[in-house]
Structure 1
Amino acid sequence: MTFDFDLFVIGAGSGGVRAARLAAQSGASVALAEEYRYGGTCVIRGCVPKKLMVYASEFSEHFEDAAGYGWSVGDASFNWAKFMQAKNAEIDRLEGIYQSVLDNNAVTHFRTRAVLNDAHSVRLADGQVITAKHILVATGGRPFVPAISGGEHVISSNEIFELPAQPKRVLVVGGGYIACEFACILNGLGSETIQFYRGAQILRGFDAEVADFVAEEMRAKGVDLRVNTDVKSIEKTDDGLLVTPTLGDSFTVDQVLYATGRVPNTDGLGLEEVGVPLGPKGQIQVDGFSQTSVPSIYAVGDVTDRVQLTPVAIVESAAFIETVFKSNPTQPDHELIPTAVFTQPEIGTIGLSEEAARETGKIDVYVASFRPMKVILAGRSEKMLMKLIVATDSQQVLGLHIVGHGAGEMIQLAGVAIKMGATKQDFDRTMAVHPTAAEELVTLGAPTRTV
């Protein structure tokens, strides 16, 4: 059978564009369709604009701290509109790069919605049907907002990037890393910030000591963090949005931001109609090679709900190309993924939490908590946390958790050693770089506890 293309990709996010480029470079004919903007969640309304907002929000502390170092800084104020203009210009630039990647690799691309027509074809919004030997679905995910009374008045992590004005009073609902990041961002930008989480502690799934540490630091920085609390109803009034919580008195804010998880973008794609089963969250079910039960259809990235991280989608795409177009069956490695959470303070983590490590056998836990040099002259009480989890018998490092400035940068490099199977002795014999916060990682002495 003759096909229009060797590969058709649905979705122009990080995973989809990487797969399209690599397939084209291998000699395949490739087409791609994207109904929104090129770059996907990460570039357009996720990692990149969020990190720009993190940088912007950190300056409020920098200005305060400067006095301790001898600087005289005048009145400082934040201009939301000016920042948004600069942010949008950068996002436009990056989207242009994504389009150039497709153009430069002779990928035919359509700025329109595409859905599955059958095992070897897709149908575009204008009715055109295009055939392909292989189809890759890389449509990502979207924010999930639960049904609540007054839910029509809330925004999600999509809309926060497009607000024309800064909310002076804001409620963030959720306890995951996205909710915590935005609570810290808005607080740092000067918004009066309240955060609700219905559970007992934020950052479920992270090391419990890390979650406790970050929660207290967030409160110390001004976030009104309330756990075991949820929204009962929201009502629009002349003064803003009246929030009635499940615990405590009602209050009024300008915006309510829900960051209560994400779901795969599979609605209306025609997956089940062509025989591709979906999981309970709507995720595309795939095997270790990202292949669905329909042999010609594959899926990568958040739409599979395996690990919802941009670098993971990119690795899954590269493995797909190796498997399908280079006759080199390759499964993406989802073990020991270093991760950063851009709360304030920042988190860098890899491997097992203490709670999970205890299930594997006897462990040694090393913990250091200290005021970093950077905050001393500023008179700030903020602390850093470093935590190393080691298997007692083998001395292999099972987990590393860092909270504080530069944690994301540190965990990227430390992740190389841990991925290679580093032991506590490997850390011990590595010379410290002084004076740095990271030197604590290689100067940890006796275990804080053995459990």
Structure 2
Amino acid sequence: MADYDFDLFVIGGGSGGVRAARMAALTGARVGLAEEFRYGGTCVIRGCVPKKLMVYASAFSEAFEDAEGFGWSVPQKPTFDWTSLIAAKDAEITRLEGIYRANLDRTGVHSFSARATVASAHEVRLATGETFSARTILIATGGWPFMPDIPGIEHAVSSNEVFNLPAQPRRVLIVGGGYVACEFAGIFNGLGSEVTLAYRRDLVLRGFDMDLRTHTSAEMAKKGIAFRYGAEPARIERLESGAFAVEMGDGRHLETDLVFFATGRVPNTKGLGLEEAGVALTPGGAVQVDAYSQSTVPSIYAVGDVTDRLALTPVAIREGMAFVDTVFRGTPVSPDHDLVPTAVFTQPEIGTVGLSEEDARALEPVEIYRSTFRAMMHTLSGRDERMLMKLVVGKESRRVLGCHIVGHGAGEMIQLAGVAVKMGATKEDFDRTCAVHPTAAEELVTMREPVAET
């Protein structure tokens, strides 16, 4: 081990890389980590954390309206200041980044604020010109927004830039149909912007349960979000007014003040020197790894969004922990990617774990338990918003194969429901659990009659 400068060198200071570096250092390993931008990665700097803060901000517009139904009077129409929100968000991100840096220092990790590339199977080169040898190299560089090659694309923003807009756009065109597109549609809409969401397919949230997709998109439309399906921009032109004229692929045109592409992220492997070092990449550019996160070069591993697995922050952290167990603790651990609960912070919110009805039916006969209802918090406010609760149950095994929730607090609920589903709970286990009343979550344990087959 003394033949190398470091026992481990991590490229990338996001959640997975930082956790792996810290935990490896605690085993006594000599650890180096290089990050070219800011510590915290996509999640902390330009993803989960700032996005959730903006979701909270945008939800207050409905809260002011709903309060009147509960006896509150708001003397004058509330106003929103974009710059105040962005400044508060930036201050919180800076605070969190400081914690990341402090935690690395506390465990003795040598941090380098510079871009790093792989020079060989055991060598890392920094943009400063320094070169370090390492017994093991961990790639944790995350993902990068995908932007299509169309005329005028330089006028659009991605999920990297959308968090730092100097002013709130009055009209927003969001392109995409996944997590980020749908979440930001709710954010801008809640803050008062006019939102159009364009998606090249026929329904947003591809890959999720169909009932969940249709219910969520219908509720989003009720809030004033306009959907344009089967269309995406073909050309963007900046007008003298500062606005943008967008020609859609279906021949239609629209004018907007912001074009935001939320069309997914790709593994951030470009220019890292991986292929030159012998590391195999997937057709999509991800680092090809085995069950233990090891690449085709034995000394090089990869975790997080840079691999072609689940692009979720908690998953990256677990992969980083499993890597340390495997390489530095002598206990081979394969990260578990099965039955991972997740939330989509749309408005209304989504929480889901396990199989969709469509995927479950392809495997075995199932029973479906589904309920839609108006939550108590909307009764006095008069808001026309409905929740969805759905359980997908194996007809013979009785196991709850999938749990899907749309509505207020869905993310919090699915974390706990995920424990039960992960443990293999049956529908009868849910039925035996006493309801907590009055809550929306009690619906999960009170649904008794399966939906009739059609």
Identify the residue that residue 249 of structure 2 maps to in structure 1: 246
Q: How does 1:66-105 map to 2 (within 5 A)?
A: 66-73=67-74, 74-105=76-107
- Counterpart amino acid of residue 43 in structure 1: V
Task: Say which SS state the counterpart of residue 149 (structure 2) adopts.
Answer: coil
Q: How does 1:392-403 map to 2 (within 5 A)?
A: 392-403=395-406
CA distance in 1, matches of 2:236, 2:28: 55
Moved over 6 A (4+): none
Task: Say which SS state the counterpart of residue 155 (structure 1) adopts.
Answer: coil
Tell me the TM-score normalised to structure 1 length: 0.99
Identify the residue that residue 41 of structure 1 maps to in structure 2: 42
Identify the residue that residue 58 of structure 1 maps to in structure 2: 59
CA distance in 1, matches of 2:151, 2:202: 23
Task: Say which SS state the counterpart of residue 419 (structure 2) adopts.
Answer: helix
Task: Say which SS state the counterpart of residue 42 (structure 1) adopts.
Answer: helix
Tell me how large the CA RMSD over aligned residues is: 0.9
Identify the residue that residue 363 of structure 1 maps to in structure 2: 366
Identify the residue that residue 325 of structure 2 maps to in structure 1: 322
- Counterpart amino acid of residue 191 in structure 1: S
Identify the residue that residue 384 of structure 2 maps to in structure 1: 381
How far has the Cα of 1:301 moved from its partner? 0.2
How far has the Cα of 1:257 moved from its partner? 0.2
**Count, aligned residues:** 451
**Once the two structures are aligned, what percentage of the paired residues are identical?**
62
Contact 1:32 1:108 in 2 (8 A): yes
CA distance in 2, matches of 1:166, 1:47: 20
Cα deviation 1:407-437 (Å, max 9, x = unaligned): 0000000000100000000000000000000
Contact 1:172 1:179 in 2 (8 A): yes
Cα deviation 1:343-378 (Å, max 9, x = unaligned): 001000000001000011110000000000001101
CA distance in 2, matches of 1:100, 1:305: 30
Cα deviation 1:45-103 (Å, max 9, x = unaligned): 00000000000000000001111011011211110000000000000000000000110
Contact 1:179 1:260 in 2 (8 A): yes
Identify the residue that residue 192 of structure 1 maps to in structure 2: 194
Segments of 5+ residues of structure 1 without an aligned counterpart are: none
The match for 2:214 among 206, 212, 221 is 212
How far has the Cα of 1:226 moved from its partner? 1.4
Segments of 5+ residues of structure 2 without an aligned counterpart are: none
CA distance in 1, matches of 2:417, 2:181: 26
Task: Say which SS state the counterpart of residue 442 (structure 2) adopts.
Answer: helix
Q: How does 1:31-430 map to 2 (within 5 A)?
A: 31-73=32-74, 74-239=76-241, 240-247=243-250, 249-430=252-433
How far has the Cα of 1:28 moved from its partner? 0.6
Task: Say which SS state the counterpart of residue 12 (structure 1) adopts.
Answer: coil
- Counterpart amino acid of residue 148 in structure 1: I
Contact 1:366 1:449 in 2 (8 A): no
How far has the Cα of 1:450 moved from its partner? 4.8
CA distance in 1, matches of 2:379, 2:28: 57
Tell me the TM-score normalised to structure 2 length: 0.98
CA distance in 2, matches of 1:167, 1:299: 38
CA distance in 2, matches of 1:124, 1:160: 29
CA distance in 2, matches of 1:256, 1:200: 20
CA distance in 1, matches of 2:375, 2:251: 37
Cα deviation 1:168-217 (Å, max 9, x = unaligned): 11100001111010111100110010000010111000001110111110
Task: Say which SS state the counterpart of residue 235 (structure 2) adopts.
Answer: strand
CA distance in 2, matches of 1:181, 1:227: 17
Contact 1:363 1:450 in 2 (8 A): no
